[in-house]
Structure 1
Amino acid sequence: MTPDLTATPAATRKTALIVGAGIGGLSLGIRLQSLGFDTTIVERLDQPGGRAYQKRTADGYVFDMGPTVITVPHFIEELFALERDKGMLGEADYPAQVLAPDARVREGESGGERTRDYVKLVPILPFYRIYFDDGTFFDYDGDPVSTRRQIADLAPEDLAGYERFHADAQAIFERGFLELGYTHFGDMPTMLRVVPDLMRLDAVRTLFSFTSKYFRNPKMRQVFSFETLLVGGNPLSVPAIYAMIHFVEKTWGIHYAMGGTGALVDAFVRKFEELGGTLRLNAGVQEILVTDDQGRPVRRPGGKRVARGLRLESGEELHADIVVSNGDWANTYLKRVPAAARLVNSDVRVKAARQSMSLLVIYFGFRREGPELNLRHHNIILGPRYEELLTEIFGKKVLGRDFSQYLHVPTLTDPSLAPEGHHAAYTLVPVPHNASGLDWNVEGPKLVERVYDFLEERGYIPNLRARLTHSEFITPDYFEGTLDSYLGNAFGPEPILAQSAYFRPHNRSEDVRNLYMVGAGAQPGGGTPSVMMSAKMTARLIAQDFGIHPSVRDGVPESRPAELAAD
């Protein structure tokens, strides 16, 4: 007989603590509530969002401070469809209907029926306008006719190469995303089983080398490799499996939450609280409480280690059956898990990991009056040097003489983010993280002035200085201080081959039982869809560890593994 989990007494439910109310933490909180846990999310900032924090200014502007690109809307629909105590992990991973192109957009609105109860998603076309240094541009919209026409205009010698790239990138997408997207690589055999396929698909060489096989024109090489920068990856270093991003966007489009990404965060909070979850703000975590299996303090390496709860910066202690960190992977272990409890994730291993680059982001408002903008919602403005600049940022860790940027102008879609007659915008410039030793109190303002000069002088925003009404910026110091990211990284460990799949931090801690990771620092990696995938991966591991069969939606439990019975 199928147990009725909705009748489970509160006293017998398992409890969970999640550190960090970013998109990964909120997504997991919703999933744990659906699995029957009583979940509390603690957040050190004064509002949820983490990297997706939204700032409202006194002069009427609204700025999303982090992610702005929303893809794979059925991931969002899955979360809003979950119910309390149903033992649910979501619908089938990729039901046929969500793969149909006409299913992603209906009458100018994206997402499914449940999503529309919480937030309004709209499609964005083109996905990106990609500007080259000579003033030409490429509007990437996923449309095969438009794509081929623009290649014919800009690089006719690469039309045949695009056909080969399209076919090979699709094969990587089908194997790497559709089939393996939710695979948690927790052991080496799981990894070794997929290596032959990755080799056959040529998915282990670097992405830029992969694209260079098909395209001779530098512009096309840039168009089909830049996207990994939006998840913290250097196209010169990330494995070619990231060619799947092209097909992720092509299949499900690019979307925007009306009101900004902050509106999506608020919707996740609403869903989490409707399911009975608790969110605590201004609650920074000092330590993850770890004991041996007898409940005694950990004093030396070795033996079984169990996560018991959290000590907040206020001194308050919270206890739970499981603890999950949605915080920075490196600082979770370096700062919050006692060194005596860590053998795998030791200080040496954590500090040796390569971290993603950081960012300088300028948030600015300006009057609409003046020449019409030749911009789109999402704009990629590439500098005169591509490979050289990437090497300076990721390798040499220096500021170059030029820069590339992502210029986001959401008020072209959503005027509500600025006072009447004004635009709100942000421009994001990849920069080295704080291992560079750069003094951002000096270099930050100088780079801001260079960016403003560039945008005005090159005609992207004519007369910008005269029209400017609001200006502020963040640097790697914001990521290191406010967001508590190791070295001020913006996306967690850099997604190189040696830090992907099995070699990326695991969602289930190897050192401490009942301690889990979720978000950009865990598998599968950075980016809004990936952190939602991470939440589902981690929820599956927890379901397995606590005897809730992850493939059964009606909540049929299995016997709890013997090794966890003592907990």
Structure 2
Amino acid sequence: KIKYELGMNELVYRPALNWSEFMLPKVMSGMLKVSVFTSLRKHVAKYFKDQRLRQLMEFPVLFLGATPQNTPALYSLMNYADMSLGTWYPMGGMGRIIDAMVKLAREEGVDLRTDSPVERILVEDGRAVGVRVNGEDLRADVVVAAADYHHAENLLAPEHRTYSDNYWKGRVMAPSSLLFYLGFDRELPRMEHHNLFFDEPLDQHAREIYDDPKWPTRPLLYTSCGT
């Protein structure tokens, strides 16, 4: 809980443009309490002896783009969020959030364009002034890029980017997932809402993703029964 409150209240929403953002007394004192210089693997091993429980505690960090042995113990806050706060769904499914945002936006007169990927963020005098979509330049007072950092930077002309192509080539990117959506005409009484299948080695799964990137030959599985 301490890690979660420190992470969410003091770290997550800072822009991380300068180290001085984190040199505040509250942040510094909190960092001393959360094993930030210990790996998640060592942290988990300190509290759990059963290998199945250790894998359960380590599994979430694979989605951060790192292995448990290379991830700071601070990220055990993900387990607190999962187990203490729970995983929540809106009634009617995740798509209802999009439906609600679209409805509200249209009520406010927003011009929504779908199937229209942004080709370039337009910059003048060091300031974003619009976007290019389907060959058309659309001017704006404010440009908000909600994509990940790497993708958003590639929408800028090279002279306006913070990091070079060589910098990004050296980064380890967090992976996506291979998803299958299956429908059944019957109940699955032995399936819970969230199901993790650890019948294969976690370390081999992680090694094949990060050390020698490819589809794991013997993957671990997560199954969600949303309804």
Provide closer, same or farther for how the CA distance between residues 182 and 401 of structure 1 changes in structure 2, counting only shifts above 3 A: closer
Distance 1:384 1:284 in 2: 39
Q: Report the equivalent of 2:127.
A: 306
Q: 2:74 aligns with which of 236, 241, 248?
A: 241
Q: Report the equivalent of 2:211.
A: 395
Q: How does 1:126-205 map to 2 (within 5 A)?
A: 170-193=1-24, 194-195=27-28, 197-205=30-38
Q: Report the equivalent of 2:114.
A: 281
TM-score, normalising length from structure 1? 0.37
Q: Deviations over 1:47-66 (max 9, x none)?
A: xxxxxxxxxxxxxxxxxxxx
Q: Shift in Å at residue 266 of structure 1?
A: 1.2
Residue aligned with 1:172, SS: helix
Distance 1:174 1:286 in 2: 38
Distance 2:171 2:140 in 1: 30
What is the RMSD of the two structures over their aligned residues, measured on CA atoms?
2.4
More strand by share: 1
Q: Shift in Å at residue 284 of structure 1?
A: 1.5
Q: Shift in Å at residue 231 of structure 1?
A: 5.2
Stretches of structure 1 that go unaligned for 5 or more consecutive residues are: 1-169, 294-304, 412-567
Are the equivalent residues in 2 in contact too, given 1:206–1:238 (CA < 8 A)?
yes
Q: How does 1:471-486 map to 2 (within 5 A)?
A: none
Q: Report the equivalent of 2:138.
A: 318
Q: Shift in Å at residue 213 of structure 1?
A: 1.7
Q: Does 1:341 align with 2:157?
A: no
TM-score, normalising length from structure 2? 0.86
Which structure carries more relative contact order (alpha carbon 8 Å, separation 6+)?
A: 1
Q: 1:263 aligns with which of 67, 89, 96?
A: 96
Q: How does 1:407-556 map to 2 (within 5 A)?
A: 407-411=223-227
Distance 2:12 2:119 in 1: 33
Q: 1:357 aligns with which of 172, 175, 188?
A: 175
Q: 1:328 aligns with which of 137, 148, 153?
A: 148
Alignment: residue pair count: 225
Residue aligned with 1:282, SS: coil
Q: Deviations over 1:268-317 (max 9, x none)?
A: 222333344332112221111122x2xxxxxxxxxxx221111112x111
Distance 1:332 1:195 in 2: 31
Q: Shift in Å at residue 251 of structure 1?
A: 4.2
Residue aligned with 1:268, SS: helix
Are the equivalent residues in 2 in contact too, given 1:287–1:311 (CA < 8 A)?
yes
Are the equivalent residues in 2 in contact too, given 1:198–1:204 (CA < 8 A)?
no
Are the equivalent residues in 2 in contact too, given 1:172–1:203 (CA < 8 A)?
no
Provide closer, same or farther for how the CA distance between residues 383 and 268 of structure 1 changes in structure 2, counting only shifts above 3 A: farther
Q: Shift in Å at residue 218 of structure 1?
A: 0.9
Structure 1 or 2, whichever has the larger Rg, is 1
Distance 1:229 1:262 in 2: 25
Distance 2:98 2:158 in 1: 34
Q: 1:272 aligns with which of 101, 105, 108?
A: 105
Amino acid at match of 1:277: V
Amino acid at match of 2:15: H
Q: Deviations over 1:62-92 (max 9, x none)?
A: xxxxxxxxxxxxxxxxxxxxxxxxxxxxxxx
Q: Among all aligned residue pairs of Structure 1 and Structure 2, give the percentage whose two residues are the same amino acid.
A: 29
Residue aligned with 1:379, SS: strand
